[in-house]
Structure 1
């Protein structure tokens, strides 16, 4: 068989596969939360620090381990319900062919129950002693209990670590809030800076409380199924032990040792055969050889006494040995229970201590918030008074500025009127310049006219003299 079966680890899980599955589920949850990052759940997962990712990953790791355990235990329960050795099956001969076939059939199914039955039957085939098989079954059961206990060590540590991650996130959030509060006290000159400082403080407190909330919620969610699965596995191991002890071991035979028979059976058988071959004897003849063959009462009583003494001695010795083993097992069980109780009490004390520390931190945070609110109120009152005085001074300055602005507006209006007058004067001057240009042209025209008049004056003088006008009519041919 494989190494896993030899190590009694049929119910163990593959940590590499569970880690990969938990990582894939964590990434899938965060990818699905991206469209909803403005909601409370999205902010709880995406905007509250790196501890949220670790908390979700540890929770999914415990969930995958729990699911894997549940699937294995469910498979074992199905096999256990279908398993059954007929009552007419004979265990008389420890080297019979039926036992060999049964061992081969059990070897074909690699489960915890079939492997345990196969090992028990193999021990019976090799030893032929019920006592040896009983001791082997007891040791095998203790091995499985130890393997089952060790397989839950990692998920228990993870369940214990999830609240610690929440407390780490709480410490980081409170540290961020305190740093923001310190910066807020240093920069309280303007209202915008006050709002920004208060936002920093409240965001740090939100990280502190949300990380603790998510961690405690997930620890409760994963703890209850893990405890139920652990109980299911314990019940499965107990049912397997009961089946082996009640239905298998009582049907096995103890190896017989050769003992001398006190009765001379061979003589009795020969006597009966001889008597049957001859004629039937009389009553006295029939009783006489029987009396001779039978031992005397003293001979019968003496070995019976010796046998009874040895049997009583062996019984007492065996009873003492068994009682000693039971006592040792009970002591081991009690020690284990004490250790488990000590671990539980220690975890409980740690949890109570951590919870108390968390309450103290919450109380200190509430006190700091109250002090912060008082300081903010005082600062607001101080700032409000300063703002009133500043507003009054500003209003006076604004009134003066308004008066000066009115004067400037009046002067600007007068200046604008003067500018308009200047523009009109400029246009008139331009018109005068044009007229002057036109006057120069007229003067040139007048000079030309005067020159022409001077030129035609002799002609006018000639025309002013008396003249005789003759009319001559010309007739064309």
Structure 2
């Protein structure tokens, strides 16, 4: 946290930076209902995913028209049956969910730059000073309950002000820490579902392509000596095999890319929660000077 005091000696004037969740949250900026903490909303992410999917398909259509040698790439998405379309939509939906989640996490991390607890070594948290700290939080942010760190501190200090027992404060901090971790894990639920569903769509495309190839191969066997019929049926066979393998390839590449991004973002959120735990331990629990139960 930011430290320091002004010449007038007021430790609560050390930081002048104000965070307004209602205006700065990435979803609230566009008029949507913002998800709690780092949980992304489904509606704005779905709308953005539709736009990205439409842009992607428009781009590859234009590319193959301008540069015919890229037709092999466009064919993987345009000529391999219906499965690539929902695959790419789910991919872009998961991608936008992760992007919004990342932006919300960056906004939450800005709370580390605000000083709400005086940094003087002699300062202690008591029932009397708890109200001043809570008032300071309300001055710095629009609502402490929109921030992971400030929500924990506010709940702990509310208990401190009303009850005045350090054991209760420590218990609240621990329970709230567990709740935050559970909420972060739950926020990945729909993304994990997409990461499971994308390969399944690829395997469905594989079954579809193999069925098409086997059916066409049967026509080849019954064509006899008709070379024209054999050639036409072989094209269908190879087209079915291309559908079988390329739909799986696209799905696995998408799922792999999402897994890498999810792993990176989970590491960031884990570090963020660890920092919140450390600040609460040092700045709140470490400064309590109350009568024990």
TM-score by length of 1: 0.50
Q: Distance in 1 between matches of 2:263 and 2:174?
A: 25
Give the alignment of 1:263-278 within 5 angstroms. none
Task: Please state if 1:90 is matched with 2:114.
Answer: no
Alignment partner for residue 142 of structure 2, among 95, 108, 111? Answer: 108
Q: Which has the larger radius of gyration?
A: 1
Unaligned runs of 5+ in 2: 1-21, 23-34
Deviation at 1:84, TM superposition (A): 5.4
The match for 2:167 among 103, 115, 131 is 131
- C-alpha deviations, 1:110-137, integer Å up to 9, x for none? 3222222222222211121111110111
Q: Show the counterpart of 2:15.
A: none
1:369-408 matches, within 5 Å, as none
Which of 26, 31, 34 is the matching residue for 2:53? 26
Shift of 1:256: 6.6
In structure 1, what is the Cα distance between the partners aligned to 2:137 and 2:242?
A: 63
The answer on whether the counterparts of 1:51 and 1:165 sit within 8 Å (CA) in structure 2 is yes
Contact 1:9/1:147, CA 8 A, preserved across alignment: no
C-alpha distance in structure 2 between counterparts of 1:103 and 1:203, whole Å: 64
Per-residue CA distance 1:194-226 (angstroms, 9 max, x = gap): 110111100100111110111111111111011
* SS of residue paired to 1:108: coil
Residue correspondence of structure 1 range 154-303 to structure 2 within 5 A: 154-255=190-291
Give the aligned CA root-mean-square deviation in angstroms.
2.2
Which consecutive aligned stretches of 4+ in structure 1 deviate over 4 angstroms post-superposition?
none
Deviation of residue 86 (structure 1)?
Answer: 2.3
Q: Deviations over 1:410-433 (max 9, x none)?
A: xxxxxxxxxxxxxxxxxxxxxxxx
Aligned to 1:17: 44
Of residues 73, 84, 107, the one that matches 1:75 is 107
Q: Does 1:40 align with 2:54?
A: no
**Match of 1:160, SS?**
helix
Q: Is the Cα contact below 8 Å between 2:116 and 2:137 reproduced in 1? A: no
Kindly indicate which of the two structures has a greater share of residues assigned to helix.
1
For the residues of structure 2 that align with 1:143 and 1:34, how far apart are their CA atoms? 47
Please, which runs of 5 or more residues in structure 1 have no aligned partner? 3-7, 258-477
Higher relative contact order (CA 8 A, sep 6+): 2
Residue number in structure 2 paired with 1:333: none
Compared with structure 1, are the counterparts of its residues 107 and 78 closer, same or farther at alpha carbon in structure 2 (3 Å cutoff)?
Answer: closer
